[in-house]
Structure 1
Amino acid sequence: MKGKLLALPVLLIAQLVLAQESVGERVVNRTKETTIRKTEDKIDQKVDNTLDKIFDGSIFKKKKEKSEEGGASGTKKSPGKQSSGGGASDGDDTDFSTYRDFDFVPGEKTLFFEDFANTSLGSGPAQWTVTGAKGEPAITTIAGSADRWLRTPTEGLSFPNAFNDFPDNFTIEFDMYADPETMSEMMSGLKVVIVQKMTDRAAYDQWFSADPQLILDIHPSGGGGSLNLGAKMEYDGNLSQEEMTLHDSTYRDGWLNGEVNRVSIARKGKAIALYVNETQYIDLPNGLPKPGPYGLVFANNMWGDGTYITNIRVGGGGAVTAKAVNKEIAAEKKFISRTIYFDVNSARIKPESWATLNEIANAIGEMPGNFHIVGHTDSDGAEEANLALSIRRAASVKNALVNEFGLDASRFTSDGKGETEPVESNATAAGKAQNRRVEFIQQ
C-alpha cells in the first residue's frame, strides 16, 4: 500500500505530461491508453476502499457502483454464457465483457435520428437551430472517427427542428466527444434539457427558465478521466441552488479521454436514469414529476473547444424486452430489431448492443423452433457492398447469440438483403435508421 501511495505523485506527473499531447495524438493512442487504464483498474480495485478513506472528497473518489436495480431501464441479465460454434465473421471481435451489467435497453421505435451524414462539412447543421455568440457551430470530423459531428457552441443552444415531442416513456442515446483538458470545472459541460414543450425553444433560458424541466449536465474535465455529472430541476426563485440540485457528483475515471463516449438516458414515467458508456451514474425515481408534453434542447456554457455530438437517437414505444420479443414473434412469426448497432461499414457489433441482444437471447431461448436471421442496410454505398455487409452483419448477430449467450448454433441460419427491401425512404437520416435492421424469422 505504501508503494501504491508513493506512486501516486509519479502518476500525476505522468498525466500532466500526457496533457501536453494534442487531441489528435490522444485519439491515435486511445487503444494503448485503454489497455493501460484497464490494467490499472484491476489493481485499483484492491486498494480503492483504502484510497477512498484517504482521499475522501477529492478526485480520487471511487467510481459509482453499477445499479443492480436498473432504475428507469431495468432488464433481466444473462450470465454471459460461453460456448463454441456459430462460424466466423469479421464482427466476432466485439468485447462485451464490460457491458454484461449494462441494463439500458433502447426504445423499440425510432422517433428521431441524426448523424449529420447529409450535411456538408464546415456548414451549420441542416434542420437544426443553433444559437449563441461564442464558438462557431459546424459539422466537422474528429480524428479516429468515420462519423460527422455537430460541434456545439461554447455558449448557446442546439436542438433539432424536426423533433420536439417526447412520449411518456422514451430513451435518448448519442455519441459525445470533448477535450476535457480545455474545459473548466467552474463552467458546464453538455447540458441535455428535457423542457416543457415551447413554441420557440430558441427563447429558452438555460439559467433561469421556470418551465417544467430537468437539466442533465455531462461535464468531463482534466486529463485523468474525471467526469462531473449533475441533475437540476427547474428554476425556482424560492429555492437555493442546493435545493434545486438533484444530483451533483464527480467520478475519477468515468470519462474516456481521447475517445468517443456513449451517453444513454431513459425515462419511465417520473423516473430518469443516465448512463455514460456501460455505467449508470444517475437514477432519479422522481426526476420528472410533472406531466408533459416535453421537448429536447442541448445547451452549453463552457470554456474550451466545445462539445461534439452525433448518432443521436430518440426511441419510444417501450424498451425491447424478452416479453415484447416473445409477443411479437407469437403474432408475426418474426421480430425486427433496430437497436443492434454496428460500426460504420462493418459487421462488428457495438458493445452497447449487449442489453438488446440479451433480451432477444432470453426470448428465443424460451421459444420453440429455429430462426432465420436477416440483415438489412440503408442505401449508402454500392449495392453489392451493402448486400455483402448485410450478410456479414446477420452472421455476427448469429455468432453473438451462440458464443455470448450460449444458444444452440443449429437453431440459426443467416442471410442478408442489403438495401433491396427498404421500409422507409433513404432520403433522411431517420429513414436510413429505420432501414438498418436485423430480422429474426421463426421457421
Structure 2
Amino acid sequence: MKYNPIFISFFSIAIVLAPYSSQGQFIKDLKKRAEEAAKQTVERKTEEKSAEKTEQAIDSLFNIKLKKKAGNDTSNQEGMEMESGGFEDFQYETGYEGIPGSTESGSLQAYSKFDFIMGSDILYAEDFSKAQLGDLPDGWTTSNTLEVVELNAFQGKWLQLQKGKNLFAPLTLGTLPQDFTMEFDLILDYEPTKFAAARMFTIIFNDLESPSIKLGDFYAGSHMLALGTDKGMKYKYKKWKDSQYNERATEATPILEKSTLQRGTRVRCSIWKSKNRIRFYINEEKAFDIVQAESPDNPFRSMKFYSEVYNEGENFFISNIRMAGPPPVINRELEETGLLEATGIYFETGSDEIKPESYPTLRQIADFMIKSGGSFTIAGHTDNIGEKEANRLLSESRASSVRKTLVKTYGVDTNQLASIGFGQRYPVYPNDTPEGRAKNRRVDIINLAVYEDYEGKLIEKVYGEARK
C-alpha cells in the first residue's frame, strides 16, 4: 500500500511531537487532518493548472483595469480570505522555472549567490490593504499625487505612480535604524522597447530628520543615496558634503534588459544595511554593494521614494513594503535559543509552494541541521485573516513543504525533522497592526535539544500561565 507523503509527515509528528500537545486531542486528529490536507492539495493543484491555462489565453498581461470602488464597497473582498494581506502571500513572478525542492534547477542556480535574508523583527509593514481605493493612503505624504488601486493581473492593493515626477514617503516609519533589512515589490508597467526620455524609480536615504523636509527635492540633505532603476538600467547616486565621495552609475542588468523584459513584470527589490555598508538587490541579483554608503558623521535618518515617468499610460506600482532589523544569525539562534522565527521563507499565494528567494534562509538552516545532527520541528503559523480551519491546513501544508525541501534539496536526514501547523491558533504578536500580522505569518524552526515544550510556551505567551 502506498501512503501520501503528507500522511507520512504527519505520522512522524505523532511520534516526535507527542509532548507538545497539552490537550492530547491534537495528536489524535493528525491522521484525519493529513488526509484532509492531502485532498485539499490535489484540488488546489488542479485549480492552479486550470488557472494557468486561462492566464495564457490572455492577450496582454497588463491590459490594466483599475478597480476603483467607493470606500464602503467590499464587492471584491470575496476570494481574498486565505491569509491575504500578507507579504509572503502575493504572487511574485521571478521569471525562473522551478522552486527549491523541485526537480528543476533553474531557480536554485539563479539564487545560489543570493545572500539576502529578511530580519525577523518587523519594524514597518505596508501592503495598503486598509487603504481606500482612489485615495492617498493614511500616513503617507507626496509631492504630487498618489492613488491606491487594484489591478487585474496582481493581487492586493498598489500605489500607482503615473506620468510626471513624484517624491513620496511613509511618515509613520520614523527614524531609520542603524542596521536594517528592507524589501518591496515594484511593477514595471511600461513597454521596454518604446523610447522614453525619463523612466526612473529609486529609493532615497538622506540625513534629514523627516522625509517631509524638502520632500520635493531629489537631492535634499547634506548626505543622500538613491538606488533603483533608470530606463532599463540599474541606477546609483551618492552625494556627500565632501564631493570627492560622490558617485553616480547606471549599468546594464539582465533583469531589466529590453530584449527580455516584458511589460507588467514584477520585481522584488531588497536592501540590507549594515553600519555604513548597503547592499541593493533586484530579484536575485546583487545590483550594488556600497561599502561607504553612509557617512559615519552624518547617518541616514529618513527615507523616501522617487518616480519619474515620461510617456502617457506608463506607470510604476509599488506595494508589499517591509522593513525589519538585521538578518538573523541563524546558526547562533538555533544553537543558543533553540528557536528561529523564519520570516525569510516565502510561499506562493494560498499554497505551500516555496518561492526561490527563500534559498539563503533554507540553506543556512539545513547547514546547521546537518552539522548538529539533532532533531527539529518545523511549525507553521498564519495571521487571523481568513477561516480558521483553512489557515490551519495551509500552515500544516507549508510546514510539511519546508520539511520536504530541507530533506530532498539540502540533504537533511528525514529522521531529524517533523512538521506541524497551528494556523492562527497562537497569535504571539498583535493581529491589529500590519507589523504584527507580518510577524505572525511565519515558519518557526525549533531545535528540540534546546527549546523544550514549544506549544506550552506558545500557550503561555498568548494566554498566560493559567492556560498552560
Whether TM-score is above 0.5 comes out as yes
Instruction: Please say if residues 93 and 348 of structure 1, whose CA atoms lie closer than 8 Å, have aligned partners that are also in contact.
Output: no
Residue 175 of structure 1: how far off its partner (Å) = 0.8
- CA distance change for structure 1 residues 287 and 112 in 2, over 3 Å: closer, same or farther? same
- Output one character per residue of 1:332-357: Cα deviation in whole Å (capped at 9) or x when no partner: 33222112112222211221111111
| 1:313 aligned residue (322, 327, 343) | 322
3-state SS, counterpart of residue 189 of structure 1: strand
1:353 aligned residue: 358
- CA distance change for structure 1 residues 410 and 362 in 2, over 3 Å: closer, same or farther? same
1:260 aligned residue: 266
1:302 aligns with 2:312: no
Instruction: Please say if residues 113 and 429 of structure 1, whose CA atoms lie closer than 8 Å, have aligned partners that are also in contact.
Output: yes
- AA at the equivalent of 2:302: G
- AA at the equivalent of 1:213: M
- CA distance change for structure 1 residues 137 and 184 in 2, over 3 Å: closer, same or farther? farther
Residue 100 of structure 1: how far off its partner (Å) = 1.9
Instruction: Please say if residues 214 and 220 of structure 2, whose CA atoms lie closer than 8 Å, have aligned partners that are also in contact.
Output: no
3-state SS, counterpart of residue 181 of structure 1: coil
| 1:187 aligned residue (193, 198, 207) | 198
Q: Aligned ranges for residues 70-89 of structure 1 at < 5 Å?
A: none
- AA at the equivalent of 1:157: L
Residue 130 of structure 1: how far off its partner (Å) = 2.4
2:137 aligned residue: 125
Instruction: Please say if residues 189 and 317 of structure 2, whose CA atoms lie closer than 8 Å, have aligned partners that are also in contact.
Output: no
Single out whichever of 109-118 and 183-192 deviates more from structure 2.
Answer: 183-192
Single out whichever of 97-106 and 182-191 deviates more from structure 2.
Answer: 182-191
* RMSD, aligned CA: 3.3
- AA at the equivalent of 2:281: Y
Q: Give the Cα–Cα distance (whole angstroms) in 1 for the partners of residues 413 and 384 of structure 2.
A: 33
- AA at the equivalent of 2:299: G
Residue 184 of structure 1: how far off its partner (Å) = 5.8
Q: Give the Cα–Cα distance (whole angstroms) in 1 for the partners of residues 321 and 100 of structure 2.
A: 31
Instruction: Please say if residues 92 and 266 of structure 2, whose CA atoms lie closer than 8 Å, have aligned partners that are also in contact.
Output: no
Residue 235 of structure 1: how far off its partner (Å) = 6.9
3-state SS, counterpart of residue 229 of structure 1: strand
Q: Give the Cα–Cα distance (whole angstroms) in 1 for the partners of residues 346 and 195 of structure 2.
A: 33
Instruction: Please say if residues 168 and 268 of structure 1, whose CA atoms lie closer than 8 Å, have aligned partners that are also in contact.
Output: yes
1:24 aligned residue: 62
- CA distance change for structure 1 residues 265 and 411 in 2, over 3 Å: closer, same or farther? same
Residue 26 of structure 1: how far off its partner (Å) = 10
Q: Give the Cα–Cα distance (whole angstroms) in 1 for the partners of residues 420 and 92 of structure 2.
A: 32
1:211 aligned residue: 222
Q: Give the Cα–Cα distance (whole angstroms) in 1 for the partners of residues 301 and 141 of structure 2.
A: 17
3-state SS, counterpart of residue 295 of structure 2: coil
- CA distance change for structure 1 residues 194 and 404 in 2, over 3 Å: closer, same or farther? same
Residue 330 of structure 1: how far off its partner (Å) = 3.1
2:248 aligned residue: 246
- AA at the equivalent of 2:128: F
Single out whichever of 159-168 and 379-388 deviates more from structure 2.
Answer: 159-168
Instruction: Please say if residues 174 and 263 of structure 1, whose CA atoms lie closer than 8 Å, have aligned partners that are also in contact.
Output: yes
Q: Aligned ranges for residues 33-52 of structure 1 at < 5 Å?
A: none
Q: Give the Cα–Cα distance (whole angstroms) in 2 for the partners of residues 327 and 103 of structure 1.
A: 17
- CA distance change for structure 1 residues 353 and 253 in 2, over 3 Å: closer, same or farther? closer
- AA at the equivalent of 2:395: S
- CA distance change for structure 1 residues 293 and 347 in 2, over 3 Å: closer, same or farther? same
Residue 151 of structure 1: how far off its partner (Å) = 1.3
- CA distance change for structure 1 residues 200 and 216 in 2, over 3 Å: closer, same or farther? closer
Percent identity of equivalent pairs: 27
- CA distance change for structure 1 residues 309 and 365 in 2, over 3 Å: closer, same or farther? same
Residue 199 of structure 1: how far off its partner (Å) = 3.8
- AA at the equivalent of 2:137: P
Q: Give the Cα–Cα distance (whole angstroms) in 1 for the partners of residues 120 and 60 of structure 2.
A: 39
- AA at the equivalent of 1:175: D
* Count of residue pairs the alignment pairs up: 355
1:367 aligned residue: 372
3-state SS, counterpart of residue 278 of structure 2: strand
1:108 aligns with 2:108: no
- AA at the equivalent of 2:428: V
Runs of 5+ unmatched residues, structure 2? 1-58, 66-90, 449-468
| 2:299 aligned residue (278, 285, 292) | 292
Instruction: Please say if residues 94 and 351 of structure 1, whose CA atoms lie closer than 8 Å, have aligned partners that are also in contact.
Output: no
Instruction: Please say if residues 254 and 276 of structure 1, whose CA atoms lie closer than 8 Å, have aligned partners that are also in contact.
Output: no
- AA at the equivalent of 1:384: E
Q: Give the Cα–Cα distance (whole angstroms) in 2 for the partners of residues 310 and 431 of structure 1.
A: 17
Runs of 5+ unmatched residues, structure 1? 1-20, 39-79, 85-91, 222-226
Instruction: Please say if residues 125 and 438 of structure 2, whose CA atoms lie closer than 8 Å, have aligned partners that are also in contact.
Output: yes
| 1:176 aligned residue (179, 186, 209) | 186
3-state SS, counterpart of residue 201 of structure 1: coil
Instruction: Please say if residues 347 and 354 of structure 2, whose CA atoms lie closer than 8 Å, have aligned partners that are also in contact.
Output: yes
- Output one character per residue of 1:121-176: Cα deviation in whole Å (capped at 9) or x when no partner: 332222222231xxx52222233322221113542222112213222221221111
- AA at the equivalent of 1:190: F
- AA at the equivalent of 2:154: S
Residue 405 of structure 1: how far off its partner (Å) = 0.9
Residue 244 of structure 1: how far off its partner (Å) = 3.6
- CA distance change for structure 1 residues 292 and 353 in 2, over 3 Å: closer, same or farther? same
Residue 370 of structure 1: how far off its partner (Å) = 1.0
- CA distance change for structure 1 residues 32 and 338 in 2, over 3 Å: closer, same or farther? closer
- AA at the equivalent of 2:160: R
TM-score by length of 1: 0.72
Q: Give the Cα–Cα distance (whole angstroms) in 2 for the partners of residues 259 and 358 of structure 1.
A: 27
2:52 aligned residue: none
